[in-house]
Amino acid sequence: MVAERVAYTLRPDELRRDLSLSRERMARLVDVSAKTVERWEQQRALPTRASSRIRAQLAQIQEVRDLGLCVYTPEGFRQFLKTPLPTFDGRTPLQMIEQGRAGDVIAALASDYEGLGY
């Protein structure tokens, strides 16, 4: 229920900008077309007919963004997203999100936030 409420207030254009992603990369993160992302941005919101799967994925990506910007500067966060990490077997956090493992990225950020390192 919370994920749905968050997704309704989600601004896809702001999320993509904060993550410094192309429309194509954002589309891969949620398994839709770049044209769909463009439509969301033009509407400045998700359509009410967006699936619960897409809403949940975007809510997780928003959580990654929000926590990431608490832990890092905006530039540091963008670097974090694109850096292959040993914790993720050499994959980047963005690759982990594409593979449906945003929860692992959130856990890594939470550890960094608590000063534990991941």
| Confidence tier at 26 by pLDDT (50, 70, 90) | very high
* Residue 52 lies inside a defined structural domain of this protein: yes
Give the domain extent around 40.
Answer: 2-113
DSSP codes joined into one string, 58-117:
HHHHHHHHHHHHHHS-HHHHHHHHHS-BGGGTTB-HHHHHHTT-HHHHHHHHHHHHTT--
How far apart CA 19 and CA 48 sit, in angstroms, is 24
* Residue 118 lies inside a defined structural domain of this protein: no
* Residue 39 lies inside a defined structural domain of this protein: yes
pLDDT at residue 116, rounded to an integer: 59
Name the nearest CA neighbour of 27 among 18, 14, 40.
40
Instruction: Examine the pLDDT at 40 and tell me if it is beyond 70.
Output: yes
Q: How many residues does the chain have?
A: 118
* Residue 42 lies inside a defined structural domain of this protein: yes
Instruction: Examine the pLDDT at 49 and tell me if it is beyond 80.
Output: no
* Residue 62 lies inside a defined structural domain of this protein: yes
> Which pair of structure tokens corresponds to residue 58?
């975007």
**73 phi and psi angles, rounded to 5 deg:** -70, 165
* Residue 95 lies inside a defined structural domain of this protein: yes
* Residue 53 lies inside a defined structural domain of this protein: yes
Instruction: Examine the pLDDT at 88 and tell me if it is beyond 70.
Output: yes
Instruction: Examine the pLDDT at 4 and tell me if it is beyond 90.
Output: no
| Confidence tier at 9 by pLDDT (50, 70, 90) | low
User: Mean pLDDT over residues 11-35, rounded?
Assistant: 91
Going by C-beta distance under 8 Å and a sequence separation of 6 or more, which residues neighbour residue 116? Answer: none
Instruction: Examine the pLDDT at 6 and tell me if it is beyond 50.
Output: no
* Number of structural domains found in the chain: 1
Which of the two residues, 10 and 64, has the higher pLDDT score? 64
Say if residues 24 and 30 touch (Cβ distance below 8 Å). Answer: no
Instruction: Examine the pLDDT at 2 and tell me if it is beyond 60.
Output: no
